[in-house]
Amino acid sequence: MAEMKSGNLKVLVIETMQTVRQLMATILAGEYKELLFAEDADEGYRIAVAERPDVIITDDFLARSGERNACERVRGNSDLRATPVIVTTARGSSVSELTYFETGCDQLLRKPFRCEDIHYSIRKAMKKRQQGKAVIQVLFRSGDIDMVDAQSLDRLVSEEELLCFRRQDGVAVIGRDPVRSNRPNEYRGPERRNRGDNLDDS
């Protein structure tokens, strides 16, 4: 898939605080094709359904809609599911990076952030959409989210650099879930009995 130029992107910002929305508007103005703004998850979801933005930036888990936040609602909609989502969160938040990752977050943008941090997060989030199944989304122990190929995934898992990675059936957490390597006859996960082992030692 051809790389999408930033100037052609439609960006939706869901942010509860007016001052932060104004800051976002100032930072993003002139860099992207169209900017859309919402004050909460309900309004943001309605705009997302109607406007189909190329990327969504949403405020932490504060912008809630019932029991699901904006990111979860986007992932639950088949028409929006592939839309990159960036979550802005305060440094030192009690919510773990793993929790964000499991709800479908593509990038974490920690407050306070610089102008270049926003643009960099958008480029990285779009990378997933452009490269599709050729790469795997991973969460590093450092809290960074990135895309890697299968060979790099094996290396990062063996070097214990990752917390988890995304696969077709959900999120695989290293040390908790079985992880099968792309290398032949290599398996990482809970110990399993051989077929010939006796299950009853009595």
Residue 53 belongs to domain with CATH number: 3.40.50.2300
**What is the distance between the alpha carbons of residues 169 and 190, in angstroms, rounded to a whole number?**
18
- Domain identity same for 117 and 144: no
Same-domain check for residues 99 and 144: no
Q: Identify the weakest region by mean pLDDT among 45-49, 52-56, 181-185.
A: 181-185
| Domain stops at, among 132, 163, 180 | 132
| pLDDT for res 32 | 92
Say yes or no: 53 and 11 in one domain. yes
Residues 141 and 128 in one domain: no
Query: Residue 175: phi, psi to the nearest 5?
Result: 90, -15
Asked whether residue 184 is domain-assigned, the answer is: yes
- Shared-domain flag, residues 126 and 143: no
What's the mean per-residue pLDDT of the chain? 80
Q: Are residues 70 and 40 in the same domain?
A: yes
Residues 6+ positions from 58 with CB-CB distance below 8 Å: 13, 14, 15, 41, 44, 69, 70, 71, 85, 86, 87, 88
3-state secondary structure 53-82: CCEEEEECCCCEECCEEHHHHHHCCCCCCC
* pTM, rounded to two decimals: 0.75
Residue 202 lies in a domain: no
Q: Are residues 92 and 175 in the same domain?
A: no
Question: Apex CA 160: angle with CA 157 and CA 162, to 5°?
Answer: 70
**Can you tell me which residue has the tokens 């959900």?**
170
pLDDT tens-place string over residues 84-122: 999 888 766 656 788 888 888 888 888 888 899 999 999
* Residue 2, domain member (yes or no): no
User: Which string of b and e fits 133-162 if b means at least 16 CB within 10 Å?
Assistant: eebbbbbbeeeebbbbeeeebbebbeeeeb
Containing structural domain, residue 181: 135-190
pLDDT of residue 197 exceeding 90, the answer is: no
Single residue among 91, 109, 132 that ends a domain in this structure: 132
